[in-house]
Amino acid sequence: MGKMKAAIIGSGNIGTDLMYKLERSEWLELTAMVGIDPNSEGLERARQRGYATFSNGIQGLEENPNLADIVFDATSAKAHVKHNEVLQRMGKMVIDLTPAAIGPFLSPVVNMGQHMDARNVNMITCGGQATIPIVHAVNEVANVSYAEIVATISSKSAGPGTRANIDEFTITTRRGIEEVGGAARGKALIIMNPADPPFMMRDTVYCEVEHMDEARISAAIHAMVKRVQDYVPGYRLKQEPIFDGNRVTTFLEVEGAGDYFEPYAGNLDIMTAAAVRVGEDIARKGVHHS
């Protein structure tokens, strides 16, 4: 079976990083990048690498419907609503990296299998991608009554969109912790640290559990970290989980692959890596509707 053709909408940081990751994919073949600014660095890089580029937005894809079966949207929540209408009409599979949350929330190592039929899936948030797998792993063996995550990212890696809508991060991540991670109740905190050299992405996951079993929980966390490392090699435990009464605390560090972003921006890397993994899973299962 040949590779499935893919396009990226959004020529900003996320879109550009996605481009480099898709180049390495065994299952997806990047064909095009769509932007709205003909002078954007992302479009220029895509042009240089021989991809079709369009600076007239979604129209570019509408006029070239056979360029891609699967479309990654790395624009904004507002733009995504419009893009999705067009793409659904065209019968495309859509992977949404914006906070629009039209489709189901997806963490590739948690609930990929449940949404193979969805035509639009949402990648939650960077903090969600980093922490929900751990909440899920702990929940599987110990029932999580409350999970709280703290995502610390370097100021340099937080774009203006994230900054202007920081509540979207906390609220969407909390929903993800509950709906995908399985915690009865969730809470998300985000901190932007301006230290220079930049702070590597850190995530702390606090879980309060109903059935404390240190050995089982610890094994589940270690196993999950390995699974995430499959697509984010720089995802690791900073130290062994700390147990305290009915609480387990997991300290994670996420080092990016250094494709377009510097390695400290693990928050951006885990989003694009997870999105590519989702696209590959779809391609592997050959879910063609078009």
220 assigned to a ligand binding site: no
C-beta of 49 vs 238, nearer to another protein: 238
Closest-CA residue to 138 (of 187, 177, 190): 177
Q: Which residue has the tokens 């879910």?
A: 287
Closest-CA residue to 177 (of 232, 139, 227): 139
Which residue in the set 27, 54, 72, 206 belongs to the binding site for another protein (CB under 8 A)? 206
Which residue in the set 116, 164, 184, 219 belongs to the binding site for another protein (CB under 8 A)? 164
Residue 19 CA: distances (Å) to CA of 47, 71, 231: 11, 12, 15
- Where residue 272 falls (left for φ over 0; alpha for ψ -120 to 50; beta otherwise) is alpha
By the rule CB under 8 A, 208 interacts with another protein:
yes
40 assigned to a ligand binding site: no
157 assigned to a ligand binding site: yes
- Where residue 251 falls (left for φ over 0; alpha for ψ -120 to 50; beta otherwise) is beta
Which residues make beta-bridge pairs with 73? 9, 96
193 assigned to a ligand binding site: no
x/- binding map, residues 217-256, to another protein, per CB under 8 A? Answer: ---------------------xx--x----x-x-x-----
For the CB of residue 126, give the shortest distance to another protein in the complex, in Å. Answer: 13
By the rule CB under 8 A, 185 interacts with another protein:
no
C-beta of 150 vs 212, nearer to another protein: 150
Contact by Cβ (8 Å): 186, 145? no
By the rule CB under 8 A, 194 interacts with another protein:
yes
Catalytic status, residue 207: no
- Residue 122, Cβ neighbours under 10 Å: how many? 28
Closest-CA residue to 278 (of 115, 119, 108, 127): 108
Closest-CA residue to 133 (of 170, 165, 105): 105
Among candidate residues 9, 18, 126, 177, the one labeled active-site is 126
Select from 100-108, 163-171, 220-228, 259-267 the region that touches another protein (CB under 8 A): 163-171
Which residue in the set 199, 260, 261, 264 belongs to the binding site for another protein (CB under 8 A)? 199
139 assigned to a ligand binding site: no
For the CB of residue 218, give the shortest distance to another protein in the complex, in Å. Answer: 15
By the rule CB under 8 A, 167 interacts with another protein:
yes
Which residue in the set 103, 155, 212, 281 belongs to the binding site for another protein (CB under 8 A)? 155
**How many Cα atoms are found within 13 Å in the side-chain-facing hemisphere of 141?**
18
Contact by Cβ (8 Å): 83, 9? yes
Binding residues for NAD(+): 11-14, 157-165, 267
Positions touching another protein (CB under 8 A) are 146, 148, 150, 152, 155, 160, 163-167, 169-171, 187, 189-196, 199, 202, 204, 206, 208, 238-239, 242, 247, 249, 251
Catalytic center residues? 126
